[in-house]
A and B are shown apart, each in its own frame.
Chain A
Amino acid sequence: MEKAGIPVCHVTSVVPVAKMVGSNRIVQGQGIVHVMGDADLPAEEEKELRRKTVLQAIEALKNEAATP
C-alpha cells in the first residue's frame, strides 16, 4: 500500500516481525490475541486504551516515512 502511495501505520504486538518485513510506521499494540485492547481492563479503561492506540497510529501517519 505504501508503494501505491497510501500511508500505512502498523499496530502490532510482534514488533520484531514488523521491522523485519519493512513496516516503517510501527505502533506497539497489546497482546497477540487482542492487539488493540486488553480484556483484563475494566470497560472504560479499555476504551481509553483503544482510543490512545488509534490516536497514536493516526499521529504516526503524519510522519514522513523514511523508506516507503
Chain B
Amino acid sequence: MRLTLAIHQIGSLSLGAATLLDGNKLVVDPEELRLLILEDTRLRSVDIETVSPGEDCRIGVVFDILEPRAKESGSGPNFPGILDPIGVVGQGVTHVLRGVAVTVVDGGAGLENGKILEMTGPAGEASPYTSLHHLVITPHSAENVVRHSEQAALRLASVKTSVYLAQCALEITPHSAEIFESDGPVVKGRGGLPRFAYIGQVHSRQRVAEIDEKILYGDNTAGMVPVSLHPNEWLDGAVVTCNRAMGAETYFYQNHPVILELYRRHQDDEITLVGTLATMAASDNDERDRNCMLAAEHAKWNLAADGVILTKYGGGAPHADMSLTARRCEELGIRTTVQVSDMSWDRRAESALLFNYPVVDAIVYVGGRDTDWDVPAAGRVIGGSGELAEELGAPRRLIATNVCGVSSQQGISRLRAMVH
C-alpha cells in the first residue's frame, strides 16, 4: 500500500469572501462553510473564528483537533463511515494543509476534566498545537437534540470542515510530497532487519460508546476484537478519536508519532514496519484476557513481529489491557515497549504505574496528571457559551492531562518524568 501526502505549507489563515489558497495564504469563506455545516439539521448555528500561533487565547472545551486533508479523486474516500461511504483509505494522494488545524469546540461539555487548548504561556509551550493556525468552529445544537446526537453532529462537522478546507488545494501543486509505502507482513528483500509492529488502543470501554459514535471506519468498537490495519490507514482517516477523548486528538492519528517514527526507521533500513493492530481496552476481565491474548497472537503469527510498540487510550484501567498484551507478547518472544501516562496524584513513583510485570520493563512516559500550571486570565477566550467562556478565561490551574498536546497518549508529549 502506497500513500502520497501532498503537503501545502500554510503561512497564514484568514476569513474572507471566498475559500482559496493563494501561495501559502489560506482564506476561508465562513458563510460557505457555515452553510455546509448547517446542512446537518441537528445544528442551528456555528461560530467560525481564527486563532494565530502563540496568540494569547484559551479555547475549550475542545471536542477534537484535525489537520485539513482531502483525497484526490480516485484515491479513495474521505473519513469513510463518517463522511464518505466505507472504503479502504491509505492509498493514492491526499492533500494536506500543513500548519493549519481545525479545532472543534463542544458547547455541551462541562469544564471539569474538559480539554483545553492553551495557545501561549508555559502550558502552551509544552504543546505542539500552539505553532499552528487554528480555524475554530463552535457548532450549537438545535433544540431537543439529545447529547449523543449533538456529539455525532460535532464529529460530522469536524471531518466536513477538514475536507472542505483542503479541497481548495486539490488543483494546486504542493510544496513537497511525503510517501508512505509498506508491503505489510509479506514484505520481501528485507532479511535480517528486525520486524516491528504497532498495537494501539482506539477506545476504552470504561465508557460505553454511543450507538452513533464513530471511531474506526465509522464503527463504535462495541464488541471489537483486535483489528489488523495497515499503518497508512491510521494516517488517512480510518480512525478518529471518540466523543470524550483524553490525551488524544485525530490530528495525531493523521500525524501519528509512533507510526511516523517507525516509518522513518523503515525507510532508513533500520527496521521493517510490518503492520499495526487497533485494539480497545476491555470492560470486563474475560474480554480483557481474550483481547490481549488475540492481539499478541496476531502480532506473533500474522505479523511475525520481533518487536511491538504499544499505546493506550482513556484513563487508568486501559493500562491493564496494554501491559497484559505486552506481557503476552513477551511470552511469545516479542520484545515490547509501552507508553504510559502517570496516574498518580501524589507524584510518588510507586503510585505512578498500574501494572508490575518484570518482563514489561521498557516503559515510556507520555505525561500525566501530576504536572500543572497556574495560568493568568486569558487575553482572548473561545468557549462553548458566554458562561463557559467567562469561567474558562479566568485565572486557573491547568492540569497537563487536560491541555491538548501536553499529555499525549499517542506519544507527542514533550514532558519527561524523573525520580529524585
Q: Which A residue sits closest to B327, measured CB to CB?
A: A16
CB < 8 Å: which of A13, A16, A29, A31 contacts B355? A16
Set of chain A residues within 8 Å of B283, measured between Cβ atoms: 13, 31-33
In the bound complex, residues from chain B placing their C-beta under 8 Å from that of A17 are 316-317, 319-320, 354-355
The number of chain B residues with a CB under 8 A from chain A is 17
Instruction: Fill in one digit per residue for A8-35: 1 if any B CB lies within 8 Å of its CB, else 0.
Output: 0000011111001000000011111100
Which B residues between 188 and 236 are near A, CB-CB below 8 angstroms? 205-208
B323 touches A16 (CB 8 A): yes
Of A16, A20, A30, the contact of B284 (CB 8 Å cutoff):
A30
Given the complex, which residues of A lie within 8 Å of B205, measured CB to CB?
A: 31-33
Interface residues of A in 44-58 (CB under 8 A from B): none
**Which residues does chain A contribute within 8 Å of B285, judged by CB atoms?**
13-15, 28
**Taking the nearest CB of chain B, how far is it from the CB of A21, in angstroms?**
8
Give the one of B285, B323, B354, B356 with max A CB within 10 A: B285
**What is the CB-to-nearest-CB distance from A29 to chain B, in angstroms, rounded to a whole number?**
8
* Cα distance A13–B317 in the bound complex, in angstroms: 9
Given contacts A20-B356, A32-B205, contact A13 B284 (CB under 8 A): yes
Name the residue of chain A whose CB is nearest to the CB of B317. A14
Q: Is the CB of A16 within 8 A of B316?
A: no
CA distance A15 to B284 in the complex (A): 9
B116 at the interface (CB under 8 A from A): no
In the bound complex, residues from chain A placing their C-beta under 8 Å from that of B288 are: 14, 16
Give min CB distance, A22 to chain B, whole Å: 10
B324 at the interface (CB under 8 A from A): yes
Asked, given contacts A15-B285, A16-B323, A16-B324, whether A33 binds B207 with beta carbons under 8 Å apart, the answer is yes
Q: Which residues of A contact B316 (CB under 8 A)?
A: 17
* Bound form: Cα–Cα A28–B287 in Å: 13
With beta carbons under 8 angstroms apart, the residue of B206, B319, B356 that contacts A32 is: B206
Find the A residue at minimum CB distance from B205: A32
Indicate whether A32 sits within 8 Å of B317 (C-beta atoms), given known contacts A13-B283, A16-B324.
yes
Q: How far is the CB of A43 from chain B (nearest CB, A)?
A: 19
Contacts of A13 in B (CB 8 A): 283-285
Closest B residue, CB atoms, query A16: B320
Question: In the complex, what residues of A have CB within 8 A of residue B208's CB?
Answer: 33
* Complex contacts, B356 vs chain A, CB 8 Å: 20
- Decide: A20 and B207 in contact? CB cutoff 8 A: no
Q: What residue of chain B has the Cβ atom nearest to residue A13's Cβ?
A: B284
Bound complex: CA of A14 vs CA of B319, how far in Å? 10
Residue of B nearest to A28 (CB): B285
**Which residues does chain B contribute within 8 Å of A14, judged by CB atoms?**
285, 288, 317, 320
CA distance A17 to B323 in the complex (A): 10
Contacts of B206 in A (CB 8 A): 32-33
The answer for the CA separation of A29 and B285 in the assembled complex, in Å, is 8
Given A14-B320, A17-B316, A17-B320, the answer on whether A32 and B355 have CB atoms closer than 8 Å is no
Q: How far is the CB of B171 from chain A (nearest CB, A)?
A: 49
Q: How far is the CA of A20 from the CA of B355 in the complex (A)?
A: 6
Q: Lowest 4 A-B CB distances belong to which pairs?
A: A31-B283, A16-B320, A32-B206, A31-B284
Extra inter-chain contacts (20) besides given A32-B205, A32-B317, CB under 8 Å: A13-B284, A14-B285, A14-B317, A15-B285, A16-B288, A16-B323, A16-B324, A17-B319, A17-B354, A17-B355, A20-B354, A20-B355, A20-B356, A28-B285, A29-B284, A30-B284, A31-B283, A31-B284, A33-B206, A33-B208
